[in-house]
Structure 1
């Protein structure tokens, strides 16, 4: 039983470690971990499919399932509860195919299919009812414990040839072992999920501007360096838009900082809305009234069109502050990554130069750097 506890916890902890490494490599912890879609869903399927294959190999080595029923039940329960239907069905299908490969179409294989898929359907039903009734997960875990107890006592009573003779005391011991492992596993998963949520919260606070809800300068520095390294040797373009709110100091001086905050939030919302329409694009508040937008896979001309959409939405909007209607404009600079940008700073400085060019031309302008061939 104690071996089972350490094995089940080890499986979950190792899974969490690998998942965090994957998230760390591909981005940050600023978003909650989502095992239902994307890379983490794919990773979950691969990880637990490998585990299912391992169990089938070990079971085949010992020629019966008896010593590994609890482990496999836990695997089945938790992939059904925590993953989506497609992921859980894929894992069970992999396990079933491995079963056929190792055992052939024997009576044991038939019982395995009936038991596994029947139990999977039952767990889906219980999970669905639990969610509709908004029950805490502990009640679902308790129901599963009761079911497993009945299952072990049924095995002891029926004395199936496939499992061999199981005494009532052995069945009760296996049931007790399952309940303990299930409780420890639930505790471990709950604790690790709480830690993940805490890391997400810390990351969000560290990388998100509290006023506008855009990513802040710290996030920009990290992601700008990452995008530069990714796109520098690629033929696909990377452009950056630098934005400054015109005469923003006058707004603060004339109407107060609270009014300035209203303007900042409204403009940030416009920027975020337009950025969300572009795949992989991301907006940042990098200073008081300054914003940057990174546009992967978008060339200079397209970035200019994109910038005009933002500028027009701000230019033609009436901002009401302290019962007064204000007109706000933006100055913008646009640059595209070039081969000559041997450091990320050179790319950043060119976008900044274009922004100051717009401000020098009387503001309310968009300046695009002269277009060059990146590979020239």
Structure 2
């Protein structure tokens, strides 16, 4: 057997398989995040839909490996891939998720092979490696050690494991020569390094994209969603209205005499007012299912309220107005009374574009300001 056929070709195949699995997983993760519409939060594989998807994806991969091993007739097939899968789901996923994946591979093994001696060896070996990996992860995280310590320890464990296979020559495992043991250990070390590099790089890229998305859609002063985020959400809700018959109301809101606050107390005081108003808007919006508040301009805010009719939105807006009106806003050494003006409109079936609702809410707002401010105008009041 030539060096090329014995070493280079199988190793390259393994590397491309590993990279392909990583890239496919990350593509599907980004697809799930984009479909959910929440691209500004850090990616979390420990809970929620991504945890569920991770379990399904890697459990399916583990089951596939076991089916291939059964077809080959001995456990030598895909040993490195199966161990890498076991290591990295234990490292990156929660204990519940990783054990679920391990359980899926165990169940598949038992169904295909039965409770043979080889199966018992397999269950014992994978359980020991799983517990050992958990212990190493605990130590690494407790003492805040670099990840390279963990990766290097995995390489050592696999070196010991392949040496064990060589010296014991387990019958269900097939004949393991020194050349096979050395090749598989070297292959594991290289694939382990590439896998760690690939995962680290893709996670950093995902975090960077998340940060950019957050910066692009979040107002830096108030931490509210900004106008770009408003337009994206508004267009989605407009589509949902016509597709799923989901109602949609909008409140356009201005802080009354905000310029006077800036002129009298300074722009830093004005920023304090904006932050405090924003907190109230976000707090109140959180009480209505699906509602979201946005800062769309200087002292201008919009609130989108799906599933509410005009009367319900009117009740919401008056409660919001009262909370602001009867609150005291600390500015410098003072406590200011503030009021807001609002315009309320609801989406209709004959609205051929989303801008029509936006314009009606805006018209209602300007009517409230024209009538002396500290008012709420509903669109049906001007008909």
Instruction: Output the TM-score relative to the length of structure 2.
Output: 0.90
Alpha-carbon distance between aligned partners in 2 of 1:133 and 1:277, rounded to the nearest angstrom: 42
Alpha-carbon distance between aligned partners in 2 of 1:319 and 1:64, rounded to the nearest angstrom: 73
Say whether the 8 Å CA contact 1:331–1:363 is kept in structure 2: yes
In structure 2, the partner of 1:239 is: 249
Deviation at 1:235, TM superposition (A): 4.0
Alpha-carbon distance between aligned partners in 2 of 1:266 and 1:186, rounded to the nearest angstrom: 44
Superposed CA deviations along residues 256-284 of structure 1, whole A, max 9, x for unmatched, are 22221111111112212222344433221
| 1:251 counterpart = 2:261 | yes
Say whether the 8 Å CA contact 1:28–1:203 is kept in structure 2: no
Bigger mean CA deviation after superposition, 157-166 or 300-309: 300-309
In structure 2, the partner of 1:103 is: 113
| 1:128 counterpart = 2:138 | yes
Superposed CA deviations along residues 113-138 of structure 1, whole A, max 9, x for unmatched, are 22223322222222222222222222
In structure 2, the partner of 1:17 is: 27
Query: Which one of 7, 20, 34 corresponds to residue 44 of structure 2?
Result: 34
In structure 2, the partner of 1:70 is: 80
Say whether the 8 Å CA contact 1:53–1:95 is kept in structure 2: yes
Query: Which one of 3, 6, 19 corresponds to residue 16 of structure 2?
Result: 6
Query: Which one of 340, 355, 376 corresponds to residue 330 of structure 1?
Result: 340
Alpha-carbon distance between aligned partners in 1 of 2:129 and 2:309, rounded to the nearest angstrom: 54
Say whether the 8 Å CA contact 2:339–2:374 is kept in structure 1: yes
Say whether the 8 Å CA contact 1:232–1:337 is kept in structure 2: no
In structure 1, the partner of 2:376 is: 366
| 1:157 counterpart = 2:156 | no
In structure 2, the partner of 1:304 is: 314
* Aligned partner of residue 225 in structure 2, secondary structure: coil
Alpha-carbon distance between aligned partners in 2 of 1:131 and 1:302, rounded to the nearest angstrom: 50
Deviation at 1:243, TM superposition (A): 1.4
After superposition, the Cα gap between the structure-2 partners of 1:52 and 1:339, relative to the gap in structure 1 and judged at 3 Å, is same
Superposed CA deviations along residues 213-240 of structure 1, whole A, max 9, x for unmatched, are 1111111111110121123333443322
Moved over 6 A (4+): none
In structure 2, the partner of 1:318 is: 328
* Aligned partner of residue 301 in structure 2, secondary structure: strand
Say whether the 8 Å CA contact 1:333–1:366 is kept in structure 2: yes
Say whether the 8 Å CA contact 1:49–1:95 is kept in structure 2: yes
Instruction: Output the TM-score relative to the length of structure 1.
Output: 0.92
Say whether the 8 Å CA contact 2:240–2:246 is kept in structure 1: no
Say whether the 8 Å CA contact 1:335–1:350 is kept in structure 2: yes
In structure 2, the partner of 1:374 is: none
Bigger mean CA deviation after superposition, 321-330 or 241-250: 321-330
Bigger mean CA deviation after superposition, 314-323 or 223-232: 314-323
Alpha-carbon distance between aligned partners in 1 of 2:89 and 2:316, rounded to the nearest angstrom: 43
CA RMSD of aligned residues (A): 2.0
* Aligned partner of residue 305 in structure 2, secondary structure: strand
Say whether the 8 Å CA contact 2:59–2:105 is kept in structure 1: yes
